[in-house]
Amino acid sequence: MSNRKEKLSCQLRLMAAFKEFSGPAPEGLFTKKEFFIVRLHGIGALLSEFKREKLKELSDGLSAKLERGTLSEADAAAFKQSLSQLVGGQDYNSVCGAFAGSKDLLLQRLSRVQPLSVAEEEKKRPGQLREPALDRLTSAAYTRMAFENLEKELGAGRSEEDVLEQARARAAKFCSSDTMPLGMDNTMPSNMLNSIEAAAGACFRLLARLKH
């Protein structure tokens, strides 16, 4: 993100997309299932955009510090902590392994990594390797929102649209305790991003399971 305004814009669009997803479905535009799918994929795309921008910000910050001299241990630890929240384990290990090499190697590897996408993770089939941290986040939200019970209700004859409407309501409640500061000096707190990503991941997982 090149400046504070762009950062705030991305945050606000993500928050607005989640609010729309978890609010009343407009009459006549989509079926309730279509609304669920379209708006959920919009959130997934914005989460990826937000992470890409955060990754760029992190990379630019590291590059600037390397230009000024050797990184301190504290700087390196802070960088690694931030990176771990944005990328998968393989990319994380690739970048962190380059700390023992040259500055050019480190920045080259960092330029190749992509942010971890909860939407892509939930497209994986049962048995496929998942990113452990994101899988735990999604699984915890799935349990907390009692989506297993929604699966059972569908099997007992409840309509798919009713199940998805209840899922949206539970996602809204799941994130209701979080607030986002809107000042130009603020960024979205990690607990807010985690809550939205966890709720979205659980909804993607529910949607995938309803297809089977």
pLDDT tens, 30-56?
A: 788 999 999 999 999 999 988 888 898
Residue 207 tokens read as 């949607």
- The answer, yes or no, to whether residue 139 has pLDDT greater than 60, is yes
pLDDT tens, 59-110?
A: 999 999 999 887 889 999 999 999 999 999 999 999 999 999 889 999 999 9
Show Cβ contacts of residue 68 under 8 Å, excluding neighbours closer than 6 positions.
none
**Distances in Å between the alpha carbon of 158 and those of 81, 150, 166?**
44, 9, 11
H or E element in which residue 190 lies: helix 190-210
- Identify whether the C-beta of residue 119 lies closer than 8 Å to the C-beta of residue 41: yes
pLDDT tens, 146-183?
A: 999 999 999 899 999 999 999 999 999 998 755 544 44
pLDDT of residue 45: 94
Greater confidence, 155 or 184? 155
Supply the Cα-derived Rg of the chain in whole angstroms: 19
pLDDT grade for 185, boundaries at 50, 70 and 90: very low
| Whole-structure pTM value | 0.87
- The answer, yes or no, to whether residue 2 has pLDDT greater than 80, is no
